[in-house]
Amino acid sequence: MHTMPGIGSGGDGMTGLYVRGGSPDQNLILLDGAPVYNVNHLFGFLSVFNAEAIKSATVLKGGFPARYGGRLSSVLDIQMKEGNSNETHGMASVGLLSSQIAVEGPINEKTSYLLSLRRAYFDLVMWPMCKLADIRDGVGKTSAGYHFTDINAKINHRFNAKNQMFASFYSGLDKFRSSNKFPSGGYDVNDKFKLNWQNQTATLRYNRTISNRLFMNTSLIYSRYKYYTRSSVRYDYFKSDSYKYSSAKGASALQDMAAKVDLDWYPAEKHIVKIGTSITRHQFSPEQSSYESAYSKYVTAVADTTYGTEKIKSSDFSAYIEDDWSMSKHLKANIGVRCTLFSVEGRNYTDIEPRASLCYLLTDNMSIKAAYSKMTQYVHLVSNSSVGMPTDQWLPSTKKTKPETSNQLSLGFQYNTPDCEFTAEGFYKTMDNLIEYAEGASYSSYQNWEEKLTSGQGKAYGLEFMAKKSNGRTTGWVSYTLSWSNRKFAGLNNGERFPFKYDRRHDISIVAMHKLSKKWEVSANWNISNGNHITIPIARYTDIDGDAAIAYSKRNEYRMPLYHRLDISANLNRQKRRGIATWSFGVYNVYARQNPLYIYADSETNEYLGESRYFLKKVSALTIVPTVSYIFRF
C-alpha cells in the first residue's frame, strides 16, 4: 500500500497509512467487516495482517461508496480466505523474524475451515544480546524480551443453495518486557517495565438469496483493542531488610459491538442498488492509571492512588443507499447518500453524507472519472509522541469535542494497453474539527483530557501518477505523488496555518519483479520522498527568573533530511513430492541509509568554561535488516 500514489508511510518501521494528507486514525480498516484499531506489530515494523489468511484487500482513497463511513481519508477492506471446500491445503514457514502455519480445507461437503497461526520470537534473539551487554558492562543484569502471536480462524457453512453462514475470528497479542538490576549508592536497584497490547475481532455473517434479484447479508460484529503497561522500581539496601518500592500501571480499551443488514437489489439491467443499516455500541475506557509506593515492614506507609476518566459509552446509527447505474454504453455512475447519528453523553450528532462518482469511457482503452465524497468521523486518536505508539488514546466525540468532517473532490484519467495501465488523478480535500493537543499540553489521566485539546482545520491537495505493467516476466509499477497538506488550529502556532507533519511534497516509488527462471524470482522496491516536517529549537536564552530556556521555531517549519530506501528479495522455488519448497531471502534498506525517525535537542557542558552547547541529534530506527525464511506449501 505504501508504494501506491497518494499513500505514504510515517518513516522506517511504521505501518500506518497516511492517505492524501490524512492521519492513520482517519483510515477505516476492516477485517471481514470488523474495524481494526491498531494494525502494528513490533511497534510498527510489521503488520497484524497475515498474508496467508487473506483472500483480498481493497483500498479506496476517494469516491467512497455510501456503504462505507466513519473515517475521513481511506477505506482498507480486507477479506479473509473462506477455506478450500474441495481439498486440504496448507503451508508452514520458519524465518529469522517469525514462523507460521496455515491450513484450510473441507470439514464435510457443506463446511470448510481456515486456521492460521503466527508467532515472532524476538525474545529468543534478545536474550543473547542482553547477556553480551552484561559481559561488556561487567555490572548489573539486563533482561528484555518481545514477541507477538496472531490467530486467524474462519468457518464457512452452506446450508443450501440460498443460505450460507460464516464465522471469522482474529486475535493478535504483543508482549514487551525489560528489566535491569544493578548496584548503586549502597543499594541494589531492580527496574522493570512491561507493555502489552491486543486486537480481537469476530464476525458472524448470514447470507440469504431471497430471489434472483435480491440478496441479504446480516452481520454481528465484535472488535476490541486494549493495552496494559506497568513500570516499577525497587531499592534494596545492602545488608538490611529495608527497601523502597514504587510502581505505576496504566490500561486503556475500546470495544465495539455492532449489528448490520445489507441488501443487494437488481431492479433492472442497468441498476445495482445497495441498501443497508447498522447500529454500533462503543465503549471507550480512557487510560486508568494507578500509582503505589511502599517501604519495608518497619515502615508501613503505603500509597495506592487510582486516577482516570470514567468509561464513555456511545451509540452509532447509520443508513445508506447507493446505485451503480450504467447510464449508457460510455457513462457509468455510483450515486448514494449515507445518514448517520452519533449519540453520546445525552448529545446527538447527525449528518448527511452525499456521495457521487462518474466514469466516462472515451474509447475502449481510455476513460476519465470524477468523484465527490463527504465523510464524518466520530472517533479520534490523540498522541503524545511523534511516533505512533500502542499507548495512543482512542477517544469519542463528546459535548465539547465535535466530529471530524471532510469534503473531497477528485478528477482522474486512465489509459490501458494489453500489458500496461497508466493513471493520473488530482484531488482536493478539506477537513474540519480536527483535534490536537494544545500548545504545551499532553495526556494526563488525572486531568480532563477534553480541556487539553484544540480543534482546527486541514487542507490537502495534489496530483498522483502511476504506470503499471502486469504481464510478462517483468512486472511492477512506478508511482509519483505531488501534494500539499496543512493545518490551522486556534491553539497552535499562534493560530497561523502550518504544514502537516507528514506533508511530503514529492514521493516516488519504483517496484519491480522479475522471473529469472522457473525456480528463481527476484524483486526490488525503491522509495524516495521529502522528509517529515518538524519543530526544532532555534535559540536559547535566560528567562526573567534567571533560568535557561529554549526558543522553538514555528510549528513544523523545518524538514527532516531526504528519505530514501532500497529493499530487495529473492525466492528459490523447488517442486517436492508433496508440495513446493521455497527459500526466501531479503534485505531491508540495502545500502543502510540512516533515515531519522525523529530529531531532538541535546546538550553538552564544557567543564573548563562552564558553558553548555545545544545541538540536534538524529535517531534512526533501522539500518540494514537481512531476512531469510523457509516455506513449504502442500
Q: What are the DSSP calls for 376-421, one per residue?
A: EE-EEEE-SSSS--TTPEEEE--SSSPPEEEEEEEEEEEEE-SSEE
Residue type, 633: R
- pLDDT band per the 50, 70, 90 thresholds, residue 462: very high
pLDDT digits (tens, 9 = 90+) for 278-317: 999 999 887 777 777 766 655 544 555 555 567 889 999 9
- pLDDT band per the 50, 70, 90 thresholds, residue 446: very low
CA distance 378 to 22: 15
Q: Which three cell numbers stand for residue 561?
A: 533530511
Of residues 356 and 180, more confidently modeled: 356
Find the range with the poorest average confidence among 210-214, 559-563, 602-606: 602-606
pLDDT digits (tens, 9 = 90+) for 319-355: 999 999 999 999 999 999 999 999 998 899 999 999 9
Find the range with the poorest average confidence among 36-45, 195-204, 214-223, 559-568: 36-45
pLDDT at residue 4 tops 80: yes
The three-point CA angle 118-250-382 to 5° equals 80
pLDDT at residue 445 tops 50: no
Residue type, 94: V
Q: What is the pLDDT of residue 75?
A: 95
pLDDT at residue 247 tops 90: no
How many angstroms from the chain centroid is the CA of residue 295? 42
Residue 445 burial (CB count, 10 A): 17
Query: 3-state class of 567 per DSSP?
Result: strand
pLDDT at residue 14 tops 70: no
CA distance 44 to 48: 9
- Cβ within 8 Å of residue 296, ≥6 positions away: 241, 242, 243
- pLDDT band per the 50, 70, 90 thresholds, residue 214: very high
What percent of the chain clears pLDDT 70, i.e. is strictly above it? 87
- The segment with the largest mean pLDDT, out of 174-188, 257-271, 587-601, is 257-271
Closest C-alpha among 71, 65, 59, 72 to residue 357: 65
Q: What is the pLDDT of residue 20?
A: 94
Q: What is the mean pLDDT of residues 582-592?
A: 93
The three-point CA angle 187-188-189 to 5° equals 115
- Cβ within 8 Å of residue 550, ≥6 positions away: 537, 539, 540, 541, 601, 614
Helices (DSSP H) in 34-168: which residue ranges?
A: 122-137
Q: What is the mean pLDDT of residues 253-279?
A: 95
CA distance 104 to 111: 11
C-beta of residue 233 within 8 angstroms of C-beta of residue 190: yes
- Cβ within 8 Å of residue 517, ≥6 positions away: none
Q: What is the pLDDT of residue 608?
A: 60
Q: What is the mean pLDDT of residues 541-546?
A: 78
Q: What is the pLDDT of residue 305?
A: 54
Q: What one-character DSSP code corresponds to residue 363?
A: S
The three-point CA angle 490-495-499 to 5° equals 105
- The segment with the largest mean pLDDT, out of 58-67, 114-123, 293-302, is 58-67
Q: What is the mean pLDDT of residues 409-422?
A: 95
- pLDDT band per the 50, 70, 90 thresholds, residue 610: low
Q: What is the mean pLDDT of residues 80-104?
A: 91
- pLDDT band per the 50, 70, 90 thresholds, residue 357: very high
pLDDT digits (tens, 9 = 90+) for 472-510: 999 999 999 999 999 999 888 888 999 998 898 999 999
Q: What one-character DSSP code corresponds to residue 140?
A: S
pLDDT at residue 619 tops 90: no
Of residues 246 and 348, more confidently modeled: 348
Average pLDDT, the chain: 87
CA distance 462 to 500: 14
